[in-house]
Structure 1
């Protein structure tokens, strides 16, 4: 008799995600103790040896709740059959709000651990439901197709095997394996935008539009990612053709391409010239684009970070204000 269907589904997803990893390599599982990452860790413990891989667990203590250190130790001590487990303790700042600050601290810790341990990849437990939430947040913020494409299945050393699996499946997998998942209080705290999307917005959409909204949003993310990747590749070729220096773009090549490509090129140069990524918005980029598409001798456009872009003799120049 085989494993429970939910267990089999999670194991299959992990096996597919790790198929290209070189035998003998170390795989790290980032595990919070919730059902998603716990099911992922259990699957990695089963799959990794069969692919001749090593697998270990890391859990991050954000120190944001009373008893967080003890909870992190419990997660690390969960008998899953992995080679080792570690607790990574971080200090969470305030930049960008509590969610963004915690995410930044978490990824910095994971990156440092992966470097120190020589890990080939880090597995993350994001599911199809997380992907749907990400797409909705992108829609609400008026973001472009790159944001609507959600989370990538593979992003550098980070691998998300469960993007095609719903959260109920990971819960069933843990129950079938006799694993007790931890319910993070932050996951039900309405102060967090993602929590409101998860507990209010998505259920309301399911109620009003019928079941399958999360799956549809995840499919949208996949389609948007394909389009965004193609546009990024096109924009990279245009950038290489029209970049005259670290701060200058030739205008004529920008006039010949669609706006979606042109804006990507302008954004890339603005970031390279020093505009802060978190402050540079689509409105800034469109304003700079008008120096190409609606040129009538106007003055330069101010960008975040004290940057100004001006048009001079068929060239866009990005430099710290003021430009003489």
Structure 2
């Protein structure tokens, strides 16, 4: 008998991560969709998912989104689909139109990509698996820190998220280093595509990846990326506890008002500032679908803690005013 090829540690690590993520779902899906760019991260994820799904009886689809923003993008997408097919995956290429919104090319491309993934996954009744790694998480935390928008922006990306419409997004590789995905591709003789945008310093994330993180590693020692990822995980745990407290509190202090919603000023005042501010943000987000900045939240809180007869506050999509003993949020 011939020798059985040994499984590389990198391949084993990624397969284990996928297996763990799939087993954590409330129930086993009939199918999953892998977001496949052709890069090392998504390619390693696709290969591991194909392997793990085979024994579990789960159908695997891949979607490669062609944004049409680079010359030859159609060829790159087609090549990725060919590789996916060779892995036993039902591959699909989806061309999208990227609409400028003023948020920047990265955000616009991401919105178009996620929209296509959502549409296909909902049609298949399947969760989407995304190839974000621990390195992506560390970069996301640093970018959140640079915005200065509080703990919410430092939570990074959640390992799993279920949207209101039931759409499920899973990131199995958030504990896996980027170099591990490249090692897995090499071990499985898969040739990843290197996106030139990933080395273009016009993009803030690229500058964080190639300039900021290496300096932090050099000056503070190794393990910075892992430390940032741990920070994100701890903050998500804190946020989940806060959210549970907020929802319990809101049931008792919120009432519907004409053209909006109102909150008891006395009840807000009785809560710590952190909880009070979170309640204000959640009420506005839930009722009007907009997020408040730190400054806007603090101004609303002053209607509770520093009331001196000031008039209504203009907020995105609504106004906030003190009426008697209540803070009334009304649609604009």
Q: Could you say which TM-score interval applies, normalised by the shorter chain?
A: over 0.9
Counterpart CA distance in 2 for 1:43 and 1:309 is 51
Give matches, 1:1-324, under 5 Å: 2-21=6-25, 22-23=27-28, 25-78=30-83, 79-95=85-101, 96-119=103-126, 121-156=127-162, 157-245=168-256, 246-274=260-288, 276-277=290-291, 280-305=292-317, 307-321=318-332
* SS of equivalent residue, structure 1 residue 247: strand
Structure 2: segments with no counterpart, 5+ residues:
163-167
* SS of equivalent residue, structure 1 residue 77: helix
* SS of equivalent residue, structure 2 residue 148: coil
Paired residues in the alignment total 317
**Cα deviations by residue, 1:224-278 (Å, 9 ceiling, x for unpaired):** 110111111111222222111142111121111111111111112223443633x
Counterpart CA distance in 2 for 1:233 and 1:23 is 27
* SS of equivalent residue, structure 2 residue 320: strand
Counterpart CA distance in 1 for 2:215 and 2:238 is 29
8 Å CA contact 2:312–2:320 kept in 1: the answer is yes
Normalising to structure 1: TM-score of the pair? 0.94
Cα gap change, 1:66/1:155 in structure 2, threshold over 3 Å: closer, same or farther?
same
Structure 1: segments with no counterpart, 5+ residues:
none
8 Å CA contact 1:36–1:126 kept in 2: the answer is yes
* SS of equivalent residue, structure 2 residue 328: strand
8 Å CA contact 2:149–2:293 kept in 1: the answer is no
8 Å CA contact 1:10–1:162 kept in 2: the answer is yes
8 Å CA contact 1:11–1:43 kept in 2: the answer is yes
- Runs (4+) off by over 4 Å: none
8 Å CA contact 1:57–1:82 kept in 2: the answer is no
Query: Which residue of 1 is the match for residue 165 of structure 2?
Result: none
Counterpart CA distance in 1 for 2:57 and 2:331 is 53
Counterpart CA distance in 2 for 1:161 and 1:139 is 24
Shift of 1:208: 1.0
Normalising to structure 2: TM-score of the pair? 0.92
Counterpart CA distance in 2 for 1:87 and 1:309 is 47
